[in-house]
Amino acid sequence: MDKELEQARKRIAELSAELEEHNHRYYVLAEPVISDRQFDLLLEELAGLEKQWPAFASPNSPTQRVGGDISKNFNTVTHRYPMLSLSNSYSREEVVEFVSRVEKEIGITTYAMELKYDGVAISLTYENGELVRGVTRGDGEKGDDITANVRTVRTIPLLLRGDPPESIEVRGEILFMRAQFERLNKERAEQGEDLYANPRNTAAGSLKQQDPKDVAKRGLDNFIYTLHGDHLPTRSHFENIQAAHRWGFKTPDVKRRFMERTDNVEGIMAFIAHWDVARHALEMDIDGIVIKVDDLDVQAELGMTAKSPRWAIAYKFQAEQASTRLNDVVYQVGRTGAITPVAELEPVLLAGTTVKRASLHNADQIEKLDLHIGDQVQVEKGGEIIPKIVGVDLEARPVDAAPVTFPLTCPECDTPLVRYEGEAQHYCPNEHACAPQIIGRIEHFVGRKMMAIEGLGGETVAELVQRGLIQNIAELYDLTKEKLLELGKGWGEKSATQVIDGIAASRSIPFEQVLFAIGIRHVGETVAKKIARAVVTMGRLQAMTKEELVTIDEVGEVIAQSILDFFAVEGNRDIVQRLRQCGVQMELDPASIQAVGDKLKGLTFVVSGVFRNFSRESIKASIEQNGGKTSGSISSKTSFVLAGADMGPAKRSKAEALKVQVIDEDAYMRMINE
Ligand code: IVH
C-alpha cells in the first residue's frame, strides 16, 4: 500500500512538472513540443490520479488551469504595498515637463518605456516559487482574492522556474487578446446572446465569475509590469522584468519594442511616435504608453503623491475621432422587444475601418446630444467595437434640420412602445405578433447550444416566418418536408430533409437546454442548468412562487420575476404545452437526477464547504436518500469527507491524520449515479 502511495505521489509530481513545462512552452514561448492531444492525455492521467489520491492534489496543479472549486464570496485582502495608479498626460508637452521635473530633482537618468495595457490590474504573490494569491486592485488598499480564477490564466505561471526570491509580488494586467475576444463574441452570437461591448470590461467581469471553470473558458491573457519585494534581483526595473521572464512570466517583448530604455526626451518621443501608429497592428488593446524611472533607488528618492508615483507617467493616446454627417436614425427591434436606435452616417474612415453606423443606445442618449438629422457629428472609437457619437457641431447645423424624435410606436408592428420603470430602454410589448421578435426567438430556439436544429439559420427562419409557415417555436414541429419543398426556390430534397431530421432529433435535447431555448429573459445557459436540476420538471417550475424561485442557486429577484412574467402570458403557456405534446423534453433525464437508493448503505459522510449543485442541506438529504449517514465531525468512523470549495484547513488536516479519504462533489455524483 505504502509503495503504491509513494508511486502515486511521484507520478503526480512528475506529471505536474511536465505539464507546467508544456504550458509555458505553448502559451508563453509559443513553441509547443507536443501535440494538444498528447497534452490532454497527460492532463487526464494527472486528473485521474488526483481523484484517486486527493491528498496529493496541489492547489497549483495544472488541472486547476481548467478551473478549481467554486467560490461563493471573494475574501478581501489588504495589499502589502498599495496599488497606485499612474498620473495621466495627454500631450507631449506634459511628458517633457515630467522629464524636466525629474532631471531638476536628480539629474539625467534612465527611463523604461512600455505599453499601457488596457485591462485589469492584478497582484500575484509567490512564496517559495508557488503562486499563493491573486488579488484584484480593488480600491488600491484592499482587493478581492480571486486566486482560483487567476490560476486559469495560462500565461500566469503557477510554479516559478529558475531562482526567484523566496517571496515576491508580481503585478501586471489581465486582458483579452483581440482575436480571443472576437472568438468569444462569435460564440455569443451563435448562442443568440448579447455581444460583449469591450475587452476591458469583459476581462473585469470574467475575473469576478464564481466558477473558475467559466473563467478558464474565456481565455484571458496577462502581461506583467512591476515586481515588489524585499529581495529583488536587481535595482533596475527593466532588468527585473527580464528576470521575471526567466521565471516563466509573459513579459513585454523587447524585440518588438514593447519595452525600451532611453535617457532622453527624444528617445521618449520616438517611442510615443512609434506606438501611436503601430498600436493599431497590435494583437491587444493599449490605451497609451508608460514612462518609468528605471532605477529603483531613484524611484524611492522621487517618492509618490497621495495616489500616484512621482517616478512614472502615462501618456494616453487620443481616442480616434472623425467628423461626419448624420444621415438618419433607424430603430432596431431585438428578440426581447428592446428598441435600439442606430445612427446612419455618411461613411467615414476611422482607425483603419470605414464607419457607416454608430450605436446610440437609447432615447436619453439622443436627447442628451440633442441630435438633428443632417448634423455634423463627432464619432469616436475607443475600447468599444462599435463607434459612438460623442459630440455635435452646433454651428454646422442646417437651419431646417429636424430634431431626432424617438418613435412612440414600434417601427415594425406599430404597437405603442413601453418603458419600464428604472430602465433606459424602450420595448415593443407585442411579443407574439411583432416579426423581428418572433424571428429572433425562433433563431434563439434553434441555436447550437439550445435545440441545435441544423440547417435552420437566421435567414431561413426569417423566410419561414415571413411566408407564414411558422409563427412560434412550437410550430416548428408541425413542419413537413412537403411544406418546405412547396416554398420552391432554395429548397431541395437535401435541405428539407436536413431541417426535418434536425427538428425530429431536437426532441431528445435535454430539459436544461430546452429551458434555455424557450427564451425566458435572463435565463441563460448556466442559470437554466441550475434551475433544471432544482425543479426537475417544467410543470414544477410553472407552479412555483417567487419565494420558492429565489431559493434556487443563482436565481435572484430579477430572474424569479422574469420567470413569473413568462408563465403569466397565456401564449407562452400554450407554446410550452404544445412543445410537451410534440415530445420535447420537459423533465430532467433520470440519469442526471440524483439517484435514490442504497448505494451508500453503511457509509458515514462529513460534509464541509460550498457546493456547486447542492446547498449544504440538500447534499446531506441526498446522502440520506441514498442510504448513507451524515455526521458533524470527523472521527475514525467517518467513511468520507465530502469537501466543497472553502473547506477549512483544520478539517482537512484532521481527515489526513485519521486517513479518511476526502472526495469532491464530482466524485460524489459518480458514486451515486454509477
Ligand atoms: S505601472 C504606480 N505599467 O494602469 C504604477 N501600469 O493607472 C503602477 N497599467 O492600475 C502601475 N499598463 O492596471 C503600470 N505598463 C504598465 C501598465 C500599467 C497598464 C495599468 C495598471 C494600473 C493603471 C495605472
Is ligand 1 within 6 A of the CB of residue 309?
Answer: yes
Residue range(s) in the chain whose domain bears CATH number 3.40.50.10190: 604-673
CA distance 606 to 454: 47
* Architecture, CATH, for domain 511-592: Orthogonal Bundle (1.10)
Q: Is 84 in the pocket of ligand 1 (CB under 6 A)?
A: yes
Question: 435-508, superfamily in CATH?
Answer: 5' to 3' exonuclease, C-terminal subdomain (1.10.150.20)
Predicted confidence (pLDDT) at residue 174 exceeds the cutoff of 80: yes
pLDDT at 36: 84
Q: How far is CA 229 from the centre of its chain?
A: 31
Rounded CA separation 567/546 (Å): 12
Residues of the chain with CATH 2.40.50.140: 321-396
The CATH fold of domain 88-92+106-260+279-306:
D-amino Acid Aminotransferase; Chain A, domain 1 (3.30.470)
Q: Is 295 left (phi over 0), alpha (psi -120 to 50) or beta?
A: beta
Q: Give the bridge partners for 221, in sequence order.
A: 175
Q: Where along the chain do the CATH 1.10.287.610 domains lie? A: 2-57
| pLDDT(416) > 60 | yes
Confirm or reject: Cβ of 116 under 6 Å from ligand 1.
Answer: yes
Question: At residue 513, does pLDDT exceed 80?
Answer: yes
The set of residues, in sequence order, having a beta carbon less than 8 Å from that of 13 and lying 6+ positions away, is none
605 - beta bridge partners?
630, 640
Give the model confidence (pLDDT) of 614-633 as tens digits: 777 778 888 887 888 888 88
Kindly report the protein residue whose alpha carbon is nearest to atom 1 of ligand 1.
225
For the chain, give the mean pLDDT.
Answer: 90
3 is catalytic: no
- In this predicted structure, the answer to whether residue 595 has a pLDDT above a threshold of 70 is no
Taking the C-alpha atoms of 431, 433, 439 and 445 in order, what is their torsion angle to the nearest 10 degrees? 50
Cell reading at 268: 521618449
- Among residues 479, 478, 412, 401, the alpha carbon closest in space to that of 440 is found at 412
Q: Where in the chain is the domain with CATH 1.10.150.20?
A: 435-508, 511-592
Q: Give the long-range contacts of residues 16-20, CB within 8 A, separation 24 or more.
A: 16/46, 16/58, 16/61, 16/62, 16/159, 17/159, 18/42, 19/43, 19/46, 19/62, 20/62, 20/157, 20/158, 20/159
Chain center to CA of 207? 7
| Side-chain-facing half-sphere of 605: CA atoms under 13 Å | 26
Cβ–Cβ under 8 Å, residues 641 and 609: no
Q: Where in the chain is the domain with CATH 3.30.470.30?
A: 88-92+106-260+279-306
| Spatial CB neighbours of 154, under 8 Å, sequence gap ≥ 6 | 23, 26, 27, 65, 221
Q: Tell whether the model's pLDDT for residue 593 goes beyond 60.
A: no
Confidence band (pLDDT; 50, 70, 90) for 674? low
Of all residues in the chain, what percent carry a pLDDT higher than 90? Answer: 64
Return the best residue to mutate from 113, 124, 225 for the ligand 1 pocket (most ligand atoms within 8 A of CB).
Answer: 225
DSSP state of 304: B
pLDDT for the residue numbered 237? 98
Contact 442, 473 (CB under 8 A): yes
- Which one of 102-111, 311-320, 332-341 scores highest in mean pLDDT? 102-111
**b/e per residue, 31-45, with b = 16+ CB within 10 A?**
eeeeeeeebeebbee
CA of 116 to the centre of ligand 1 (A): 7
What is the arithmetic mean of pLDDT over 334-361?
A: 89
Assigned fold of 321-396? OB fold (Dihydrolipoamide Acetyltransferase, E2P) (2.40.50)
Q: Which CATH superfamily does the domain covering 604-673 fall into?
A: BRCT domain (3.40.50.10190)
Q: What are phi and psi of 134, to 5 degrees?
A: -125, 120
Element (H, E) at 217: helix 212-218
The mean per-residue pLDDT over the stretch 349-363 comes to: 86
**Would you say the CB of residue 114 lies under 6 angstroms from ligand 1?**
yes
**In whole angstroms, what separates CA 145 from the centre of its chain?**
17
How far is it, in rounded angstroms, from Cα 337 to Cα 430? 8
* Segments of 212-319 assigned E as strands: 221-228, 259-262, 286-293, 312-316
Ligand 1 contact, 258 CB (< 6 A): no
Q: For the whole model, what pTM was predicted? A: 0.62
Report residue 15 CA to chain centroid gap.
Answer: 29
Please state, as a whole number, how many other Cβ atoms lie within 10 Å of the Cβ of residue 670. 11
pLDDT surpassing 90 at residue 601: no
Per residue in 42-91, pLDDT (tens digit) is 999 999 999 899 888 888 999 998 887 777 778 889 999 899 899 999 88
What size, in residues, is the chain? Answer: 674
Closest atom of ligand 1 relative to the 226 alpha carbon: 1
Q: What's the pLDDT score for residue 1? A: 59
Distance CA 27, CA 222 (A): 10
Q: What are the tens digits of pLDDT across the range 243-294?
A: 999 999 999 999 999 999 999 999 999 999 999 889 888 999 898 999 999 9
pLDDT of 591 higher than 60: no
**Eight-state DSSP code of residue 469:** S
- Among all chains, which residue has been given the C-alpha cell 509573459? 250
The domain made up of 2-57 has a fold known as: Helix Hairpins (1.10.287)
Q: What is the pLDDT of residue 149?
A: 94
Cell reading at 109: 537618468
Q: Give me ligand 1 centre to Cα 66, in Å.
A: 28
What's the pLDDT band for 191 if we cut at 50, 70, 90? confident
For the chain, the straight-line distance linking the first and the last C-alpha, in angstroms and rounded, comes to: 26
- The residue nearest atom 3 of ligand 1, judged by CA position, is 225
What proportions of the chain, in percent to the nearest 5, are helix, strand and coil? 40, 20, 35
- From 72, 116, 250, 316, the catalytic residue: 116
Higher pLDDT, 208 or 241: 241
| Residue 455, pLDDT score | 85
Q: Is residue 594 scored above 60 in pLDDT?
A: no
Say if CB 387 and CB 354 are below 8 A apart: no
Quick: pLDDT tens for 539-554.
999 999 999 999 888 8
Q: Ligand 1, residue 314: give the atom nearest the CA.
A: 7
Which residue in the block uniquely carries the three cell numbers 404545452? 577
Q: Do 362 and 369 touch, CB atoms closer than 8 A?
A: no
Average pLDDT over residues 493-501: 93
- Tens-digit pLDDT profile for residues 92-138: 999 999 999 999 999 999 999 999 999 999 999 999 999 999 999 98
Residue 382, pLDDT score: 67
